A = this chain, B = another copy of it.
C-alpha cells in the first residue's frame, strides 16, 4: 500500500465508536487529490488493477469481497459501480440493489434477504443500499423503539464479524453529499428527459428529513464502524473524487488480501495438447 493510500484511509476511515459530524464534514474532499485529470487517469488504471486482482480472487476461490454502498438519494451509488467496477464487469462482480422488501422478505428477519445474496467465494458482491436501511429508516421514521434499533446495531456487527471470520472481507462506503449538491442532482433528474425515470417524488419527502437522515447516518457510523468491518465516509459531491477514493481503497484491500492462483497438482510439461 502506498503512503498516499495509507493517508487517504486514515482520513476517511471511521474509528470505532467515534462520532463523525457530517454537517461540518467535507463533502467535496478538498486536498484529497492533486487534480482532476490526474485522478481520473489514476482511477481508470486502478479499475484495471482491480480487474486483475479479481481474476486471482476467482481462481483462488477461497474468499470473497463485499462492498456496501450507502448514501442519500443521488449520492452516486450506481455511478460508483460503473466507474470503479466496470473494468471487471459482471463476470466477477455481482450487484444487489435492495428496495422495498417483499412480503416473503418481511416474513423473515431483516438480515435474511441480505445473507441470501452475500457473495460466494471467489467473487465481489456490491450492495446498493443494504441492511443499513433497516436501522436508518426505522430511526428517521420512528418505526422501532430505540432499544430495538440498538439491538440491530449489535446484530449487524455480529453478522458482519461472522462474515469476515468465514472468509468475506467487508468494505463499507458512505457516499457523503451536501444538501446543495443533492438539490442540483434532483433538479437534473427533473430537467433531463433521459434522467427523469430516476426521479421519485418520494425523494423530496426524504429530502425534507435531511437532518434526521444525517443524524441516523452519524449514529450508524458511530455504532457500526468496527475494526473488522470499518465504515469509510467518502466525499461524493465531486464524482471524480468519490471514484478516486473508492478505487484506491478497493485496490489496496484486494492487494492486501493477496489472492493466489492455485498451484496445480500436475506439471504443465506432463501434458501435450494434440
- Chain A: residues with CB nearer than 8 A to chain B? 61, 104, 107-112, 115-116, 118, 120-122, 148, 151, 155, 158-159, 161-163, 165-168
How many angstroms between the C-alpha atoms of A100 and B148 in the bound complex? 36
Q: How far is the CB of A124 from chain B (nearest CB, A)?
A: 14
- A162 close to B159 (CB less than 8 A): yes
- What is the CB-to-nearest-CB distance from A5 to chain B, in angstroms, rounded to a whole number? 29
Query: Given A111-B166, A155-B165, 18 other A-B contacts at CB below 8 A?
Result: A61-B107, A107-B122, A108-B118, A108-B121, A109-B118, A109-B162, A109-B168, A111-B162, A112-B115, A112-B118, A115-B116, A116-B116, A148-B165, A151-B165, A155-B158, A155-B161, A155-B166, A159-B159
What are the nearest 6 A-B pairs in CB distance? A109-B166, A107-B120, A158-B158, A155-B162, A115-B115, A107-B121
Residues of B within 8 A of A151 (CB): 165
Chain B residues within 8 Å of A163, by CB: 109
Contact of A120 among B108, B120, B121 (CB under 8 A): B108
Q: How far is the CA of A46 from the CA of B126 in the complex (A)?
A: 48
Give chain B residues whose Cβ lies under 8 Å from the Cβ of A167. 109
19 intermolecular pairs with C-beta atoms under 8 Å apart: A61-B107, A107-B120, A107-B121, A107-B122, A108-B120, A109-B163, A109-B166, A109-B167, A109-B168, A110-B166, A111-B162, A112-B118, A115-B115, A115-B116, A151-B165, A155-B161, A155-B165, A155-B166, A159-B162
Q: Shortest Cβ distance from A149 into chain B, in angstroms? A: 12
Residue ID in chain B nearest A105 by CB atoms: B120
Rounded to whole Å, the gap between the CB of A227 and the closest CB of chain B is: 15
Chain B residues in 8 Å Cβ range of A162? 109, 111, 155, 158-159
Q: How far is the CA of A162 from the CA of B108 in the complex (A)?
A: 11
Smallest Cβ distance from A269 to chain B, in angstroms? 30
**B residues less than 8 Å from A165 (CB atoms):** 148, 151, 155
Once the chains are docked, how many angstroms separate the CA of A231 from the CA of B120? Answer: 31
CA gap between A108 and B151 in the complex, in Å? 25
Q: Which of A120, A163, A167 has the most CB of B within 10 A?
A: A120
Minimum CB distance partner of A122 in chain B: B107
Smallest CB gap from A112: residue in B? B115
A158 to B118, CA, bound (A): 18
Complex Cα gap A165–B112 (Å): 13
